[in-house]
Structure 1
């Protein structure tokens, strides 16, 4: 199926705008922009008239591809401010790779509708967690040691792979419940997003390689055309988001994070149940 050039004239600028917004959010919230990219790409592919069966898989896989360069840009910006805790990256990241493998195998098995349900339900739950006052959500005096960090990494890797996100929606609450400063949690989550996105993107390429009726210019479940149009603006805007993250109150940062999760979760749940 070829793309109508007139449609590209409309959707091309929207993909560029989507890249700018996702990059800004990657820097601001350490999320890799996935909570914007996945629904944005899904609805865009659907509007272009592509076969619906695997659109959610392509949206997730493409989002994971975009997270890699935006994550690199975001990590550099946070690292310059000393907001990346490498001890947590190493200890939590140990379990992430296994979680990514499990998530990829699950994605290969479930339908696009099931992926949308996972995306919506997980975001709704995590939004509630993030809306709770940090002082009342403190569970530990510090992030638990092993084997809990490896176990948490497995959960983070699996859920993030299924959702096409950078992991902060799971890892930030885990770290803040252990009294990690919000800014450090966001910066560390940016680094964890790279540990997630690289193997997850490769996995989505592999499981979608022989699937028919994918959008044009797709390698497996990764649409290279969309990724290449999104990445430049996403990389350019990630440092701006990181600067804003260090200039606004921590409580406001949590509220912004939670509000985005709630909006996206509600919209995706509406689509699952065909509510306009």
Structure 2
């Protein structure tokens, strides 16, 4: 694509606007915004004329790379307010890393619709729980210990790497279903985004090395042009989301996150139906 055309200007504006929304979501819900980034990048790479074989993994890998600065900014903001469960982050670090590396390795073989269906079922159930405020949905008074806790970490890393998200949606679901306060779940999930995005982006770079049909700016399945256009506004708006999260009551934050999950579910349902 010619960098001086109206088409490129439209793509740039679309990426900058999507970046601003992503930054707010990162701070507000402790998520990386991958559920928004991936479909936007997928369409942008279509504008650039890339083949269907590389568009999706390139969108996922670039999404994980974009999530790195937004997750760090969001995590630091929540940590400054003392809301992050640092002990849980340490317990989940290695299992999440293992899950991310496995997910990055499987990304080019696994059918995307399988993981989309899993996400729709789990996220849909939690969206209903959040919106209804029902406590009977809780799986326990707190998170399990030992193997159960580590299994959750591995699951978060695996699904996040395959879906190109920072893990906030999944970790938020797990934590709130086990009785953790929504503000703590949001804050801790921001840190989980850092644990997922860094090794995930590196894994996709390696997985895409030598693949044909990738743009010149890409290293493996990560487009640096996409990063340059997307990242600036995410960094600028992430702290706005953090402030907004801590200004809301527990109930209002639950409602907002429930509605967000419902919208993400609809996006995945649309992707499954349209194939």
Equivalence for 2:141: 141
How far did 1:126 drift?
A: 1.0
After superposition, residues 1-276 of structure 1 pair within 5 angstroms as: 2-3=1-2, 5-6=4-5, 7-110=7-110, 114-115=111-112, 118-119=115-116, 121-132=118-129, 133=133, 135-274=135-274
Which stretches in structure 2 are left out of the alignment for 5+ residues? none
Structure 1: stretches of 5+ with no match in the other structure: none
> How many correspondences in the alignment?
271
Instruction: Identify if the C-alpha distance between structure 1 residues 214 and 115 changes in structure 2 by more than 3 Å, giving closer, same or farther.
Output: farther
Q: How big is the shift at 1:152?
A: 0.5
Q: Residues 22-61 of structure 1, C-alpha deviation per residue, up to 9 Å, x if partnerless?
A: 0110000111111111111112222333211121111111
TM-score with structure 2 setting the length: 0.92
Contact 2:38 2:63 in 1 (8 A): yes
CA shift for structure 1 position 20: 0.6
TM-fit CA distance, 1:185: 0.6
SS in 2 for 1:180: coil
Deviation per residue, 1:167-187 (Å, 9 max, x gap) = 111111211122211011110
Structure 2: distance between partners of 1:59 and 1:256? 27
1: distance between equivalents of 2:125 and 2:2? 40
CA RMSD of aligned residues (A): 1.8
- Distance in 2 (CA, whole Å) between partners of 1:130 and 1:274 is 23
Contact in 2 for aligned 1:31/1:167 (Cα 8 Å): yes
Structure-1 separation of matches of 2:107 and 2:240: 33
Runs of 4 or more above 4 Å deviation: none
Cα contact 2:127–2:259 (8 A) shared by 1: no
1:116, distance to aligned residue in structure 2 (A): 5.2
For residues 82 and 159 of structure 1, the distance between their equivalents in structure 2, rounded to whole angstroms, comes to: 28
